[in-house]
Amino acid sequence: MNYFKKHMFDKFSLSRDDFGKAPEEITEEAADINEDELFEFAEFDEKKSEIIAAPRYSYWKSVWKTFISSKFTVFVAIFVILIVLFSFIYPKFSDYDPMNAKHINDASHKYLRPSLEHIFGTDNIGEEVFDVVWAGARNSLIISLSATAIDMIIGIIVGAIWGFSKKMDKWMIEIYNVIANVPFLLLAMILSYVLGAGFGPLILTMTVTEWIFVAYFIRTQVMIIRDREYNLASKCLGTSSGVMIVKNILPYMISIIMTYISRQVPMLISYEVFLSYMGLGLGTQYASLGRTISSYKSYMMGYPHLFWIPVAVLAIISISLYIVGQKLADAADPRTHR
């Protein structure tokens, strides 16, 4: 309170003794101050009113800032990077080979529970479950990531043109109706019988029809923003459709494309697992999470770690990839910036 009083008096150049005096007694000091010293003419500059004071905006910088602003997101992102790196690097150093069962005659090496020596334990033929799971995870990731990349590239290109061209829409929608009604499992079975089991045929199975779903999704999104006024303005300036797709349409869709990818990658991982589980996926010469789960399922009761560990690894990879994808998509949406 005293502090406030002191400063208040200072401000009006009054002293504590002035308190309670008549106004004419106080103004002596105040009258010394020349009015001209207190005020000066402000000049009006039109240019100055146009200046934008806010710091410069950069789209990708803002995406990055928003993305790293949440500790949880950063944690999951680092976790995903480590898991992916680990699943790509570790199988190179482990001596696991699905075609060579080294310990099959060593009964003391089978069905071991997880321990420090055998992190995930060992399985029915004496293999380290840790090695088996990571080799399988690597193959699942390779397949789902490359299939997603192919789906998205074809889907985005076709979908953007499809959404933009009213002529193309008429016959593309018919093609979509036909392809979308082909049962996926039937197609997978036929392709696996005709082409055999392996990386190529499996990626083909996941892309041969899947791209059109991506394209359809993109088409719908393009149609929503196609007729907005800024596209009309571009048309009035003579911008060609190709340039409009690249400059006006796709930049608006980064966020929804990210969302799609973040759903597509885990979905294709589970496709791989599902097809391998059904015996339509990778051949026995390749490690595969799906086939691993399939072959361990009979030990669910006796040796639960054999079944649950691969399932848990699958779930963790899928969920963390999904979370990171969603967070990236959120960050890519400019409405979340600042």
Q: Which residues here bind other proteins, judged by CB under 8 A?
A: 46-47, 50-52, 54, 56-57, 59, 228-230, 232-240, 243, 247-248, 251-252, 334
Type of residue found at 122: T
C-alpha dist (Å) from residue 320 to 56, 79, 193, 200, 262: 33, 8, 34, 26, 10
Type of residue found at 155: G
Residue 331: CB minimum distance to other proteins, A: 15
Output 165 or 209, the one with its CB closest to other proteins.
165
Report the C-alpha gap between 186 and 280 in whole angstroms: 11
Q: How remote is the C-alpha of 147 from its chain's centroid?
A: 16
Residue 298: CB minimum distance to other proteins, A: 55
Q: What is the DSSP string of 238-293?
A: T--HHHHIIIIIGGGGHHHHHHHHHHHHHHHHHHHHHHHHTT-SS-TTS--HHHHH
Residue 232: CB minimum distance to other proteins, A: 6
Output 63 or 306, the one with its CB closest to other proteins.
63
Output 255 or 295, the one with its CB closest to other proteins.
255
Q: Is 285 exposed, middle or buried (0-12, 13-18, 19+ CB in 10 A)?
A: exposed
Phi, psi of 70 (to 5 degrees): -105, 125
Q: Is 206 exposed, middle or buried (0-12, 13-18, 19+ CB in 10 A)?
A: buried
What are the structure tokens assigned to 305, written together? 């770690």
Residue 44: CB minimum distance to other proteins, A: 14
3-state secondary structure of 61: helix
Helix (H) or strand (E) holding 123: none
Output 59 or 86, the one with its CB closest to other proteins.
59
Output 196 or 251, the one with its CB closest to other proteins.
251
Output 22 or 236, the one with its CB closest to other proteins.
236
Residue 214: CB minimum distance to other proteins, A: 21
Residue 241: CB minimum distance to other proteins, A: 12
Q: Is 267 left (phi over 0), alpha (psi -120 to 50) or beta?
A: alpha
Contact between 291 and 275 under an 8 Å Cβ cutoff? The reply is no
Contact between 143 and 272 under an 8 Å Cβ cutoff? The reply is yes
Identify any residues that bridge with 122 across adjacent strands, giving them in sequence order.
128
Output 68 or 233, the one with its CB closest to other proteins.
233
Output 21 or 235, the one with its CB closest to other proteins.
235
Contact between 169 and 162 under an 8 Å Cβ cutoff? The reply is yes
